Chain A
Amino acid sequence: EPEVTQTPSHQVTQMGQEVILRCVPISNHLYFYWYRQILGQKVEFLVSFYNNEISEKSEIFDDQFSVERPDGSNFTLKIRSTKLEDSAMYFCASRSDSPNSPLHFGNGTRLTVT
């Protein structure tokens, strides 16, 4: 069964550094998402992406965050200047264009900011 893949599985970075989290959504999916989950807390929406542009973003997704779909397969989340509070699991998800289709999540990237 096709799946969403994320790399790296774990990223450690120093405060103030830039990080890029990478995702390869399922190939025929059209909607892409980034979520984060701080340890012990609920999953939080960051951003949704459709037709090569952001369709929705949360208040968490400030100017430090950006997303790109640089080619036909990758979907990236960039954090320009990481803060300690950015430490979390970051999940990429994708779905097809059917409105009630399930979200398929990747296994996440654990970001640790020191």
Chain B
Amino acid sequence: KNQVEQSPQSLIILEGKNCTLQCNYTVSPFSNLRWYKQDTGRGPVSLTIMTFSENTKSNGRYTATLDADTKQSSLHITASQLSDSASYICVVSAYNDYKLSFGAGTTVTVRA
């Protein structure tokens, strides 16, 4: 069964600090891995998409890494801002699979 596990479930950081979120998956055959940001009461918004051949991708202060061998990904937030407070969801796609497998998300709270 395709699964996506994220850790930690939640974290609190001070404004300006960095943090790293983890994602482990068992989806196979792997096609791509996406990180989404979901603000409370809103739909998820795409941050990054990585395919098998990519091991890092940045979008502003967000940097995602992928190790397709160990089936792990991380999302690093640099110099956090209050607006980074949200749920960050790891989503993995299997080849030719329309369903996408969603992680439960990591809730990040940035405090002043």
Tell me the A residues contacting B by CB distance below 8 Å.
4, 31, 33, 41-45, 48, 50, 55-56, 58, 91, 93, 99-100, 102-108
Contacts and interface: CB of A to CB of B under 8 A. Distances in A.
B42 interface: yes
Interface of B: 31-32, 34, 36, 41-46, 49, 51, 89, 97-100, 102-105
Contact of A105 (B32, B41, B44): B44
Contacts, number: 52
Among A45, A93, A106, residue most surrounded by chain B Cβ atoms (within 10 Å): A45
A102 B32 CA distance: 10
A77 to B, nearest CB: 14
Among A42, A44, A45, A91, residue most surrounded by chain B Cβ atoms (within 10 Å): A42
Given A43-B89, A105-B43, A105-B45, A31 B98 contact: yes
Nearest to B32: A100
Contacts of A58: 99
A-B complex: 5 closest residue pairs judged by Cβ atoms: A105-B43, A102-B46, A48-B98, A42-B104, A56-B98
A102 B34 contact: yes
A99 B45 CA distance: 18
Given A100-B32, A102-B34, A45 B45 contact: no
